[in-house]
Chain A
């Protein structure tokens, strides 16, 4: 079945960077865009951007431009989201999701299980 499996929880210090992985299986990796969404504790969902696994093209939410980098490795069907210059405001669960673009429909599904990133000194 279609599945997105993410890397484990991370604890980082302010100013550091974090890189979260999202391994896809059960479908042709290059057919569907992968989006990243985060959710701070007790807060709503926040869209961060997407990567086209076929071309490597990306599009980031204005809020994260200059601080986020989304990449992929097609040989291992894995996408990555790296966020730099972390602050406590970046403490959140980061999730990858199949989303609009490529052969996907105009919705977000499936979702990875989420990766908790805690930023603390």
Chain B
């Protein structure tokens, strides 16, 4: 089980939109509609932002959206705000009741 591939960092200015990619394989991301995304602020526990590729918990702002094409999932944040600055992790089901996370992406709001 290799970690999913995410860019180490992305950045954007307030009000802009950014997209974080999450690249997997046909054995994980590409085979199941089971990608989730987590936001983690320093020293805090991860917070669920997107589940099942593109579903958003009711408590999460609609500025966050998820999508997928083939073996690559994406998280888009629109109307970037200072509070969005955090680390973001994708996660996918990998078969045989196992799960795999991405390496994480540090989002900087300029």
Q: Flag if B36 contacts A45 (CB, 8 Å).
A: no
Contact of A109 among B48, B52, B93 (CB under 8 A): B48
CB-defined interface of A95-120 with B at 8 Å, one 1/0 digit per residue?
A: 10101110001111111111000000
A115 to B24, CA, bound (A): 29
> Closest residue of chain B to A95, judged by CB?
B45
Q: Flag if A61 contacts B48 (CB, 8 Å).
A: no
A111 to B89, CA, bound (A): 14
Which residues of chain A are within 8 angstroms of B48 by Cβ–Cβ distance?
107-109
Closest beta carbon of chain A to B94's beta carbon, Å: 9
A54 to B67, CA, bound (A): 34
> Which of B1, B46, B99: most chain A Cβ within 10 A?
B99
A41 at the interface (CB under 8 A from B): no
Which residues of chain B are within 8 angstroms of A99 by Cβ–Cβ distance?
99
Contact of B97 among A50, A62, A105, A107 (CB under 8 A): A50
Which residues of chain B are within 8 angstroms of A112 by Cβ–Cβ distance?
45
Q: Flag if A108 contacts B97 (CB, 8 Å).
A: no
Q: Which of B13-21, B68-76, B77-85, B100-108 contacts A (4 or more CB under 8 A)?
A: B100-108
Q: Flag if B45 contacts A47 (CB, 8 Å).
A: no
A95 to B107, CA, bound (A): 23
Which residues of chain A are within 8 angstroms of B109 by Cβ–Cβ distance?
none
Question: Given A45-B46, A61-B1, are A106 and B97 also a contact pair (CB < 8 Å)?
Answer: no
